[in-house]
Chain A
Amino acid sequence: MQLRLGIGAILAAIFLVTYATPNWVSTPSNVRNIVLSPLFWPYILGGLTGLIGLGLALSGWRGDPGEPVNDPIPDPGAGAARLVGFAALMAVTFWAMPHLGMVWTSMLAFLALAFLVKTRHPAAAVICAVAVPLILYAFFAHVASVAIPQGELVRLP
């Protein structure tokens, strides 16, 4: 794992130094001193990333005895599917929030997540899914006076 991590860091560093920094950091043409350039710091970070990556790769290659291991889970396939599902859930939530409003979106997100992980208390989950976003809305909108996005369909007072 350490070896993979190291190689990943080296690749990232190469990408950073050769492509990302020159293309995605803009700098004025009249910089008087190299250390003042907006590029200076990203280049240093790129270089350091490469060094750390090298160190990680070396120690991984030598076979570090302290190599950590993750606890195995009984259903890796289903687990991966759940992760993809959750990622999709996040994307939909993010997209829906300005349209549906934060309250309705988070109710749906709550339900979807609770059933995605197969909760043992479905009734409690439904009650909480309705109650928690409403309570939070009441608190944030009326006590903390935050303009919680309302969406276009149903507006709460």
Chain B
Amino acid sequence: MSLYDSVMAGLALVGNLEAFLSLAIGIVIGVVGGAIPGISATMAVALALPFTFPMAPINGILLLLGVYKGGIFGGSIPAILIKTPGTPASSATILDGHPMAERGEAGRALGMALWASCTADFVSNLALIFFAGFLASFALSFGPPEFFALILFSLTIIAGVSGESLLRGALSALLGLLLATIGLDLVYGTNRFTFGDPNLMGGLNFIAVLIGLFAIPEVINMVWHPTGHVGKVQKLGSKWVTFAEYKRCFRSIIRGSFIGVFLGSIPGIGAAPAAFLSYSEARRKSPNKANFGKGEIEGVAASEAGNNGVAGATLIPLLALGVPGDVITAIIIGAFMVHGLQPGPMMFVLNVDIIYGLFIGLILSSGILFIVGGLAIRGFRPVADIPKRILMPMVLVLCIYGVFAVNNNIFDVGVMFAMGWVGFVMGRYHIPAAPFLIAFILGPLLEDNFRQSMLMSGGSPDILLRGPITWFFWTLTVISIVAITRGTLRADRAGG
């Protein structure tokens, strides 16, 4: 079958109103679900799954993909408006998005988030269509030693999100690494800091930690100083993002999209690290470096580009290898199987019409996301006008429901409360929260991959340098560390 035939076969599948509607409905569900903390893209996809069983396979899968993409964008809405990421992937968006909202520029931030998301989504879809085969075989060459090197490099992001003091950033990261050790040991299955509590054996729930660290300290701060916001404008603002700004951020958006595509095509990393990496790269390259973290629109653009760049690329290992890159794609694989489709290399031979149908649908999805997202921003506008002393109790109640819903466990609500106080104290001591979060995500991956490598080699460290991919990331790590050290020393000399 020629490419033309394949495209035509795909078009025949999706060239109807039903397919289009499924995709649009999916995106709407996703944006709304993603905008509600605790629902998150993952849960929205899981909830939508049973409803797709009776649908035609392609429509059902398009609906789920719509939910996924919508959810990743939707998460940025509460991240910007109430400093509560709707989805873990949008935690990097808080760093500059929320300061912008506090300045009364929420509209601008949300607009840029939407533009960056749609651009990155489009780039990611193109990457999926053109490079699926190539990137998939590349992804399979990632074993534990390669992962270890990649994650070690990713940890150097911490320097980029540490804010004013690298030392305090590092302290924050260490705290994150320590709390991430709670739970059952990977290799021996023994208890670490669990005190025999079955709730702790599973480790601290990531979402509970995330919301506790970002949203609850806001509530506590308001309790500490209830009138602190009086006089400050917290309005959506009439200012909308301009095309000139989009053009200025375009480099960062494209860079972020590619970071997203790259990390998304490797199973097991996910959207949050991609967003942080994209953010710190944008900060490093930007002329407005000093403004990052204080409400720089380029920061919003970079983080949203990073996380939406992942959304199309996670389908690369899924379609080409049948390997899910994260929890969401694991659920989507379930949808394929229910319809009797088995993702993997054979699918490109047996169900080529579905593959091309999906590709066409995905290209459409970027456009639909732009329209739906624009409407959603207007829909969530009133949130910015709620008086803060009413809004904060609402945030508290919303977080309680949301965190409970993630794992149906009241214990997680307690974890969220406790982390809220940790976050508050960290704030008082000007310890940034972002390094904590990155370390909390990457720490277990670093340790697990290190130990898996050691198991593979029987304890010999040589395996950590076993091939070109590991050399590449080790070199990058060394370069980053040198650059960070030099930057710190220079800042020190300039300051002192």
**Physical contact A–B (CB less than 8 Å):** yes
Interface string of A123-150 (1 = CB under 8 A from B): 0110011001100110010001111110
Give Cα A87 to B424, complex, Å: 12
Which residues of chain A from 65 to 82 have a CB within 8 Å of any chain B CB? 65-66, 68, 70-71, 73, 79, 82
Q: Which residue of A lies closest to B446 (CB)?
A: A41
Contact of B226 among A53, A93, A117 (CB under 8 A): A117
Report if A56-B167 is in contact (Cβ < 8 Å); known contacts: A110-B394, A128-B393, A136-B401.
yes
Neighbouring A residues of B224 by C-beta, 8 Å: 73, 79, 82-83
Neighbouring A residues of B328 by C-beta, 8 Å: none
Give Cα A45 to B181, complex, Å: 10
Prevailing SS type, chain B contact patch: helix
Stretch at the interface among B190-198, B292-300, B344-352: B190-198
Q: Are A146 and B408 in contact (CB under 8 A)?
A: yes
Interface string of B180-210 (1 = CB under 8 A from A): 0100010110111101000000000000000
Taking the closest CB of chain A, its distance from the CB of B433, in whole angstroms, is 15
Is A116 an interface residue, CB under 8 A from the partner?
A: yes
Contact of B220 among A73, A86, A94 (CB under 8 A): A86
Q: Which residue of B lies closest to A26 (CB)?
A: B190
Taking the closest CB of chain A, its distance from the CB of B451, in whole angstroms, is 6
Is A20 an interface residue, CB under 8 A from the partner?
A: yes
Taking the closest CB of chain B, its distance from the CB of A121, in whole angstroms, is 6
Is A11 an interface residue, CB under 8 A from the partner?
A: no
Interface string of B154-165 (1 = CB under 8 A from A): 000000000011
Q: How many A-B residue pairs lie within 8 Å, measured between CB atoms?
A: 180
Q: Are A109 and B405 in contact (CB under 8 A)?
A: no
Chain B interface residue count, Cβ-Cβ cutoff 8 angstroms: 61
Report if A9-B192 is in contact (Cβ < 8 Å); known contacts: A45-B177, A117-B389, A125-B393.
no
Q: Are B188 and A52 in contact (CB under 8 A)?
A: no
**Which of the listed residues B165, B167, B185, B420 has the most CB atoms from chain A within 10 Å of its own CB?**
B167
Q: Which residue of A lies closest to B455 (CB)?
A: A36
Report if A66-B164 is in contact (Cβ < 8 Å); known contacts: A45-B178, A136-B397.
yes
Q: 24 A-B Cβ contacts within 8 A?
A: A5-B168, A5-B171, A20-B193, A26-B190, A28-B188, A28-B190, A35-B451, A38-B185, A38-B192, A56-B167, A65-B495, A65-B496, A66-B495, A79-B223, A86-B223, A90-B417, A106-B401, A109-B396, A110-B396, A113-B396, A121-B389, A137-B401, A140-B401, A148-B405
Other than the given A41-B447, A71-B225, 8 more pairs (CB < 8 A) read A65-B495, A79-B224, A98-B410, A106-B397, A114-B390, A118-B226, A133-B397, A136-B398
